[in-house]
């Protein structure tokens, strides 16, 4: 079985469409998603509708937490100042049912596929907001491996950087960000887990960024970072 690993889509439907097209070509059978479906960018409904055409499971990220805050009128000024209008647009455009579905998703979960035990989380299993970068200290990586000795693969996101660690039969994977990669390699990042070989491959998909960049300039003209990060090398 070939399973697509996705994280940090961030309302970037253009990037997600490119990933899902490639996933179909590569005969992916299921998607596992590590949160932050919304925020930063502007097409939350398209993101959900695209995902819902697939067999997928996922967890929530910190941006889903911000969505809940926004709807409850908490920290709105701080959220918009730091992250732009993406959360406000998601709160406005998503139905109540869709918004609740996103922010009520668990922040981590353990599932089983075939004989494999899988942990999905956003930052880490014990802290949704924890960044575990590719150059993380070994002590932190050991804590991940020791969190639950009974998992075969742990999939996380949040950093927007692809990463991989292995120890005996256990592997830890961050597939990078679909919607806003920060590794200075433009394109939409994702990964494939092959259950036959218990191996992971990383992928990057090109897509036309101009429509998204135009949206950034329309909705968040003062936040150049939102489009500059997409193209920096």
Per-residue pLDDT at 35: 97
* Structural domain total, the chain: 1
Per-residue pLDDT at 124: 96
What are the backbone dihedrals phi and psi of residue 110, each rounded to the nearest 5 degrees, phi first?
Answer: -120, 125
Taking 90 as the threshold, does the pLDDT of residue 197 lie above it?
yes
Taking 90 as the threshold, does the pLDDT of residue 20 lie above it?
yes
pLDDT band at 115 (very low <50, low <70, confident <90, very high): very high
Q: For residue 194, what are the β-bridge partners?
A: 2, 199
Percent of the chain with pLDDT over 90: 97
Number of residues in the chain? 233
- What digits encode the pLDDT tens for the residues 23-66? 999 999 999 999 999 999 999 999 999 999 999 999 999 999 99
Per-residue pLDDT at 81: 95
Place of tokens 């596992």: 32
**Mean pLDDT for all residues in the chain:** 96
Mean pLDDT along residues 112-139: 96
pTM (2 d.p.): 0.96
Taking 90 as the threshold, does the pLDDT of residue 17 lie above it?
yes
Helices (H), 72-137: 76-83, 86-93, 96-103
The Cα 107–Cα 120 span in angstroms is 8
Per-residue pLDDT at 148: 84
Q: If you write DSSP's letter for every residue of 165-230 in order, what string do you get?
A: EEETTEEEEEE--SS---SS--SEEEEEEETTTTEEEEEEE----HHHHHHHHHH-TT-THHHHHH
In terms of Cα–Cα distance, which of 55, 73, 58 is closest to 103?
58
Mean pLDDT along residues 210-231: 96
Per-residue pLDDT at 116: 96
Residue ranges making up the domain that contains 96 = 2-231
The Cα 90–Cα 179 span in angstroms is 15
The Cα 26–Cα 133 span in angstroms is 28
Taking 90 as the threshold, does the pLDDT of residue 149 lie above it?
no
Per-residue pLDDT at 150: 87
Q: Which residues contact 78 (CB under 8 A, 6 or more apart)?
A: none
**Residue 190 belongs to a domain with what CATH number?**
3.60.21.10
């Amino acid at each position: 079985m070939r399973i697509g690993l996705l994280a940090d889509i961030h309302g970037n439907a253009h990037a997600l469409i490119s990933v899902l097209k490639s996933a179909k070509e590569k005969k992916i059978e299921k998607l596992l998603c590590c949160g932050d479906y919304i925020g930063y960018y502007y097409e939350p409904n398209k993101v959900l509708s695209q995902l819902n055409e697939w067999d997928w499971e996922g967890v929530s990220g910190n941006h889903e937490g911000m969505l809940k805050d926004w709807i409850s009128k908490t920290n709105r000024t701080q959220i918009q100042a730091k992250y732009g209008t993406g959360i406000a647009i998601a709160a406005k455009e998503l139905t109540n049912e869709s918004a609740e579905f996103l922010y009520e998703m668990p922040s981590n979960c353990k599932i089983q596929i075939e004989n494999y035990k899988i942990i999905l989380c956003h930052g880490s299993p014990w802290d949704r907001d924890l960044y575990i970068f590719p150059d993380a200290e070994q002590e932190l990586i050991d804590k991940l491996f020791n969190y639950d000795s009974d998992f075969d693969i742990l999939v996380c996101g949040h950093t927007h950087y692809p990463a991989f660690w292995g120890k005996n039969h256990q592997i830890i994977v961050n597939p990078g960000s679909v919607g806003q990669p920060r590794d200075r390699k433009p394109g939409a990042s994702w990964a494939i887990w092959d259950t036959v070989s218990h191996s992971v491959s990383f992928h990057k998909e090109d897509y036309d960024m101009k429509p998204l960049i135009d949206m950034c300039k329309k909705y968040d003209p003062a936040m150049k970072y939102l489009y500059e990060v997409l193209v920096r090398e």
